[in-house]
Amino acid sequence: MHNESRNESRNESRNESLAERVGMQNKLLSLEGRRHSVETENGIISTNGIELIIEYLHNIGLPELPFWWCWKYDVPTKLEDGSKNPEEYVGSLPKRIARFYHKEHKCKLSTESKTHIGNLAAQHTYEDAYYYFDFVQTFNWERGEFSDSTSCFWTERLEAKRIMEKEENVWAVRFFSGELPHHAGIARAWIQARKDFLIIFNGYWEDVINPTLEISKAMSLFFDCNYKQISLRNQGEVKGTLWINGEGSGYVVGPKKVIKNFSKLDLEIETAKQCCLCDANIYDDRDGFSVSGRLYCRDCYHDQFFSCSECGSVERIENSWYDSDDTVYCEECFNRVVVCCWQCHNEIRKDQANQTSFSQYLCDVCARRDSVFVKCSHCERYEFTEYVRKCGSDLYCILCQPTKQGVENVS
């Protein structure tokens, strides 16, 4: 009786559950940063499980179970004081159901049916009476802290953890042995929040047969809604970067009317883009280069393109121009910025070149070759030594040579 009334009150509140009132993403945001708890009765079958068993009995053509039916997995044959349990139906749920139909309806349940009911009941029975958990979006715990010592997201799939951390609708739900800070971690799973339901996957819980299911049961209890197993992929893959445990098995938690038709979902989390030339995975924007709408890995980009040091434009490598310092330019900038040393023909930047009196440029090395050129004291252009004229201590190029007296030939 107690269990039944409890289930009734839950059915009423389900008319407008938390999950239906607010978007799940906002809901989780508002719950972040502290521990929560939810309580059930040890050994009781979840509302979800009860529905599945009732549905199964209906499907195999059996009349309904009475309203007073006890939905615990096990009703002990003996009471705590050792005396016989006076209840009419005792033992495991499949055994009690079989006895009920035999006694009341004179029909015998097949072994197969009993096994099926037993499996449903076992799967949907709460393993615990109390669940303590939090929701986080930073996944910075040590591998193994939440029974997840076998998770590959801490080793060869570290990238997956990083990718999920960047997704604004992905959380970890982490379970603890109690509600206080010193209570240690015991379990965890990933959650992707959708508008009005959650996807739960890759659960870890030591000694629990199906951790993701157990976590989903606790979440459905907390959010007061249903849960259901689905086939889960990410970008069509089970064993991609974002590896999904249980050969691609996940759970949805949400209002029954929302999740009842789901059987297959995709997380649709972008894990990596590919280089358009060599197919290499590009995980990070910094490792990928986009040119005219196509994405290249670092190596292919540098094989194919260059970026002009002057104007920054990206062009194909065959259009690149280099100066003698190996600085790269587009053709236009090269023509504007780079000049050729008149003496050694090295290509040098105009703004660093030395001008001559005869409208040419010299590199520093050639200009300082004393025996050949001299710097004009007036215009600072370089002049052939033989044409330089001296006036006092000043040296003049051919263009600046003073007409006044006292000018000497240097050579």
Q: Which of 70, 98, 244, 397 binds Zn ion (CB under 5 A)?
A: 397
Q: Which stretch binds Zn ion (CB under 5 A): 26-34, 80-88, 217-225, 377-385?
A: 377-385
How would you write 259-292 as a 3-class SS string? Answer: HCCCCEEECCCCCCEECCCCCCEECCHHHEEEEC
Nearer to Zn ion, 54 or 277 (CB): 277
Best CA proximity match to 46, nearest among 18, 11, 90: 11
- Phi/psi for 161 (5° steps) reads -65, -45
Which token pair is 304?
């194919």
- Residue 304's Cα: distance from chain center in Å? 30
Tell me if 209 contacts Zn ion by CB under 5 A: no
- Report the nearest approach of Zn ion to the CB of residue 175 (Å): 43
How would you write 148-178 as a 3-class SS string? Answer: CCCCHHHCCCHHHHHHHHHCCCEEEEEEECC
Nearer to Zn ion, 219 or 341 (CB): 341
Local structure of residue 86 (DSSP, 8 states): -
Q: Which of 297, 338, 353, 395 binds Zn ion (CB under 5 A)?
A: 297
Site pattern 155..194 for Zn ion (x: CB under 5 A) = ----------------------------------------
- Report the nearest approach of Zn ion to the CB of residue 371 (Å): 15
Nearer to Zn ion, 98 or 397 (CB): 397
How far apart CA 39 and CA 282 sit, in angstroms, is 45
Burial (0-12, 13-18, 19+ Cβ within 10 Å), 236: exposed
- Report the nearest approach of Zn ion to the CB of residue 183 (Å): 49
- Report the nearest approach of Zn ion to the CB of residue 321 (Å): 9
Chain positions 117 to 156 lying near Zn ion, rule: CB under 5 A, are none
Total number of residues that touch Zn ion (CB under 5 A): 22
Q: Which of 93, 191, 376, 388 binds Zn ion (CB under 5 A)?
A: 376
Question: Sign of torsion, CA 48 49 54 57?
Answer: positive
Assess contact for 388 and 407: CB atoms under 8 A.
Answer: no
How far apart CA 188 and CA 155 sit, in angstroms, is 17
Nearer to Zn ion, 29 or 300 (CB): 300
Nearer to Zn ion, 154 or 296 (CB): 296
Site pattern 324..363 for Zn ion (x: CB under 5 A) = ------x--x-------x-xx------------------x
Nearer to Zn ion, 208 or 280 (CB): 280
Say which amino acid occupies 269: I
How far apart CA 123 and CA 403 sit, in angstroms, is 110
Chain positions 258 to 277 lying near Zn ion, rule: CB under 5 A, are 275, 277
Q: Which of 60, 158, 278, 317 binds Zn ion (CB under 5 A)?
A: 278
How far apart CA 395 and CA 401 sit, in angstroms, is 8
How far apart CA 28 and CA 375 sit, in angstroms, is 76
Run of H or E residues at 18: helix 18-21
Nearer to Zn ion, 35 or 378 (CB): 378
- Report the nearest approach of Zn ion to the CB of residue 298 (Å): 8
Run of H or E residues at 55: helix 47-59
3-state secondary structure of 179: coil
- Report the nearest approach of Zn ion to the CB of residue 325 (Å): 13
Chain positions 356 to 375 lying near Zn ion, rule: CB under 5 A, are 363, 366
Tell me if 28 contacts Zn ion by CB under 5 A: no
Question: Which residues are bridge partners to 250 per DSSP?
Answer: 201, 230
Tell me if 300 contacts Zn ion by CB under 5 A: yes
Tell me if 378 contacts Zn ion by CB under 5 A: yes
Q: Contact positions toward Zn ion, by CB under 5 A? A: 275, 277-278, 280, 297, 300, 308, 310-311, 330, 333, 341, 343-344, 363, 366, 376, 378-379, 381, 397, 400
